[in-house]
Structure 1
Amino acid sequence: MASSSAGIVTGLVAAAFVTIGVLAHQASVTAPADLGPAHATVSPAPGAVKAPRDRRHPDALPAGSGTGERVVYSVDDDRVWLVGPGNKVRHTFAVTPGSVDPAPGAYTVTSRSSRITGSDGVLVEHVVRFTSAGGVAVGFSAAVDDAAAKPDPDRPTGGIRESRADGDAMWEFATIGRPVVVVR
């Protein structure tokens, strides 16, 4: 019986070391430098630098927003870019943010819903979520009645509203796992 107990303890110790090794590896993995750090806080870091813009082309993709196929969202410009192969902008459009902004950084699309009631009580469609901030889910959506969003500053909402046409484009493009880059 004593050797059986020793074998169990040895097995548990070995399993603990494997678990620690896996966790240490996960903690050391980071997003590519060109996408910036991953964050999920309520507001951008104080003094965060705004991504440079082409003043002659205000709708141009922000410099420093990464490479490859991705969604780029500027919290300062209230604009989204859907970037396809070859770093080519497939579609860009203005949005109306909720009262909670995601921090600048790299994220991925984590869930989608075809139609739900938003946190503000509005029926929305083509919901594409990519993070949470302050306990509030943050993602893109379009009001089914295509009404302009009027966020209540006293109520934390993470819905970034787009028109129904832009919501259709987002829904087609932003599948689960698609990178989302948030810039100032």
Structure 2
Amino acid sequence: MAGLTVAALGVVGFLGYQAAATAPDHPTQARPGSHASQSKEKDKDRGRQKKKSTALPAASGTGERVVYALDDKRVWLVGADGKATRTFEVGPSPASPDPGTYAVTSRNEGGVGSDGVQVEHVVVFHSEGGVVFGFSAAVDGSMPDPNARKRTGAVRESRADGSALWEFAEVGTKVVVIP
């Protein structure tokens, strides 16, 4: 019986060692030029790119508008003077509108999103092929699943950002979607 206990402890210890060595919060030293080293360099590059994305893109139109950058997953609220008053990250859904200029067509204080989630501050700016594109904030703070099979046009932001967009974007406000 003691032999089985010792063997079991040995297996548990080995499995714990393997888990600790491969866990993301226990990084291992990477040799220069190794795959892990290259991955870290790519992560650093992504971080640099992300910092750049907070600046209002030059080719995003003029005047008062909402700018939605698909690749950056970011929105800017731009005043009449052409200066961004707020920017924030968003969570896109499986469907995205084509780049172009749209206008807010409707607003709704709350309801259920096309993905079945309770939402507030819904600002709709386009519909195409049965998909309605708009900004909203999930009451529970969740973001849409970009890999979901159902094509929805929900662009989700935090509740605070949703409130700011709601105050900014009245019906008729320009929405510029860029790649």
Query: TM-score if structure 1 supplies the norm length?
Result: 0.68
Aligned residue type for 1:77:
D
| Residue 116 (structure 1) aligns with | 111
1:106 paired with 2:105, answer no
* Identical-pair percentage: 57
Q: Given that residues 144 and 154 in structure 2 are in contact (C-alpha distance below 8 angstroms), is that contact kept between their aligned partners in structure 1?
A: no
Give 1:148 deviation, angstroms: 3.1
The CA deviation string for residues 144-176 of structure 1, in whole angstroms up to 9 with x for no partner, is: 111233245310110000000000000000100
Counterpart secondary structure, 1:87: coil
Question: CA 1:55–1:165 in 2, change beyond 3 Å: closer, same or farther?
Answer: closer
Equivalent residues in 2 for 1:29-40 (5 A)? none
Gaps of 5+ in 1: 1-53
Considering only aligned residues, what root-mean-square deviation do their CA atoms show, in Å? 1.6
Of 152, 157, 161 in structure 1, the residue corresponding to residue 152 of structure 2 is 157
Distance 1:158 1:55 in 2: 24
Gaps of 5+ in 2: 1-48
Distance 1:123 1:155 in 2: 17
The CA deviation string for residues 41-86 of structure 1, in whole angstroms up to 9 with x for no partner, is: xxxxxxxxxxxxx987320011111110000001111100000121
How many residues are paired up?
131
| Residue 4 (structure 2) aligns with | none
Aligned residue type for 2:134:
G
Counterpart secondary structure, 1:103: coil
Distance 2:149 2:142 in 1: 20
Distance 2:149 2:138 in 1: 20
| Residue 91 (structure 1) aligns with | 86
Q: Which has the larger radius of gyration?
A: 2
**By percentage of residues, which structure has more helix?**
2
